Amino acid sequence: MKKKNTKFIKDESKKLGFSSCGISQARFLSEEADNFENWLTKGYQGSMSYLEKNIDKRLDPRLLVPGSKSVISLSYNYFPPKKLIDENNFIISKYAYGKDYHKVLKKKLKKLFARIREKMGEIEGRVFVDSAPIHERAWAKLSGLGWVGKNSLLINKNKGSYFFLAEIICDLELEYDEPVLNRCGSCTRCIDACPTDAITEAQVIDANKCISYLTIENKESIPEELRGSLNDSIFGCDICQDVCPWNKRSTPHNEKEFIPNKELKKLKRKDWIELTEETFNKIFEGSAVKRTKYKGLTRNIKALT
């Protein structure tokens, strides 16, 4: 029955457009505890104080979903068919081109969980898209979706790293997958390419220097000494992914919700500089860019002008 149920879940996930699906046994992540505590002790979380809370739940999904036995990890491709204008222009991360992935993936996860319940009965569980204290990459790694690269992102040998992660934690016993081999080898392209030296060592990121953090989560002004290294990025950063050799295998997504709207496609440097709050709200309605708000985005633009 476990084998049959596992196959059903993976087959249904493909039908809903997920790139891959792997499953691991819900347990305490003892192997991640020390590294996470050390990272916090060094203050590498910056102002993201929420990471200092619910550490026990972050390391043990059974505290999030009592009675849970399995963590179903899923990936969803967001590599764009075409880049936005980036020559002599400001840059936003590829993941923010279209609609907010939290909402897009949450709908799909709920559909998948509904199909699982329809097939297997009233099982207990919850769906997550970057929405709770879950060590997503650790579970995805344990579930065989890829390995954690030196830039701390999950990398798949066939798909690269341009994908979102999501989870279903439930009380269903299933067949569990095995982790895959880390294939980064001696490559240090991501470390070498980071303009702010945010990758302090393999798999360790100092958020205080990370362009993604500085332009999104950071609520203060961007430090003067880092402004010259922002690489024209005003929302997020893809540099460590763009230089990764494994991303030569990335293929364009076919999710219509991730296609940028016409107004966003047209924006050039001058338009960004003159962006009004009304235009911001219109162009980025339902977008992840709303996370930094108009105030944050214009702060980022001003730091580069």
Residue 142 counted as domain residue: yes
The verdict on 29 and 113 lying in the same domain is: yes
Is pLDDT of 99 > 90?
yes
**The pLDDT of residue 195:** 98
CB atoms within 10 A of CB 291: 16
Arithmetic mean of pLDDT over the chain: 96
Q: Which of 285 and 1 is assigned the larger pLDDT?
A: 285
- Tens of pLDDT, residue by residue over 120-148, are 998 999 999 988 899 999 999 999 999 99
The verdict on 76 and 203 lying in the same domain is: no
What CA–CA distance (Å, rounded) separates 53 from 66? 19
Entry pTM: 0.95
pLDDT-based confidence at residue 107 (cuts at 50, 70, 90): very high
Positions marked active-site: 130
pLDDT-based confidence at residue 297 (cuts at 50, 70, 90): very high
Q: Which 3 state secondary structure label does DSSP give 118? A: helix
Q: Which domain holds residue 212?
A: 189-252+260-303
DSSP bridge pairs for 204: 201
**The pLDDT of residue 131:** 81
The verdict on 159 and 266 lying in the same domain is: no
- Tens of pLDDT, residue by residue over 182-241, are 999 999 999 999 999 999 999 999 999 999 999 999 999 999 999 999 999 999 999 999
- Tens of pLDDT, residue by residue over 147-164, are 999 999 999 999 999 999
**The pLDDT of residue 1:** 85
The verdict on 50 and 132 lying in the same domain is: yes
DSSP bridge pairs for 24: 71
The verdict on 152 and 233 lying in the same domain is: no
The verdict on 111 and 155 lying in the same domain is: yes
Q: Is residue 210 left, alpha or beta, with left meaning phi > 0 and alpha meaning psi from -120 to 50?
A: beta
The verdict on 117 and 229 lying in the same domain is: no
CA angle (43, 46, 48) in 5-degree steps: 115
